[in-house]
Amino acid sequence: MNATETLGSAVRHGYRNLVGTIVVSLLVSLSLAPLVGTLRVGTSLAVLGGLWTTSLLLGITLVGGFRFATTVAERGVPIAVLPHLRAAVAAPGTGLGIGIVTFLVTVASLALALLTPSAFRAVATGVAAFLLVDWFLLLAFAVPELGSGQTLRVALRAGIERLLVAPSAVALFFAVSLLCALVAGVTVVTIGLFLPGALCLLAAHVTAAVDSDRAADGAASQAS
């Protein structure tokens, strides 16, 4: 995979689809509203309810964002974002599945970090962060299938396969994602307006490059 070419395409196509990227980012940010609202209530049950609602909304929104990002990566031209968002809402099964797993992973990570005895809490917190990052990477590398409407099980299986066969792409995506988060962290507005949509586009372009390399390798092996 040519990292420079892949990142250049992501930036170029993102610029051409700036409005759609902002819309996806805003919807992802708005999906956090139930959790933020219940955090002010302060009770554990309320926070869990807010996290549940946020996770479900986030899952559906991400599927819409993945549909949009996959189409942008394939065509490389300005794309209308609303049809992809409507499609995710009209068929919410995969999005709800993502939301449920996201809720379970988040609750497990929080429980691990908060309920572990203090002597082992640092290690437990590291494991909890590792679980969350792994789930983030798995979703990112399943974007082509999630964006084309395949089931969550098929998409996650394909994501795992990409993670295993393309470690350099994983490292690139993780490093660039971290850099984008740090840059966006300068202002909260930047995070809410650009980061989620930009990461969707980045994931779509990286996975497209991985699939292209695998197809080329397969063709070369058959020719030989």
Q: Which of 7, 8, 148 is nearest to 69 (CA)?
A: 148
Is 224 part of any domain?
no
Kindly list the averaged pLDDT for each block of 10 residues, start to end, along the chain of length 224.
89 94 95 91 87 96 96 93 94 95 95 86 90 95 93 95 93 92 80 92 95 77 64
The structural domain count of the chain equals: 1
Helices assigned H by DSSP within 91-166: 93-115, 121-140, 143-147, 152-165
Is 167 part of any domain?
yes
Is 161 part of any domain?
yes
Asked if 105 contacts 132 with a C-beta cutoff of 8 angstroms, the reply is yes
Is 117 part of any domain?
no
Other CB atoms within 10 A of residue 130 CB: 11
Range of the domain at 167: 3-102+129-213
Instruction: Check residue 41 and give its pLDDT.
Output: 79
Is 31 part of any domain?
yes
Q: Which of 139, 169, 183, 156 is nearest to 28 (CA)?
A: 139
Is 209 part of any domain?
yes
Is 110 part of any domain?
no
Instruction: Check residue 210 and give its pLDDT.
Output: 94
Is 180 part of any domain?
yes
Rounded to whole angstroms, the Cα distance separating 72 from 78 reads 7
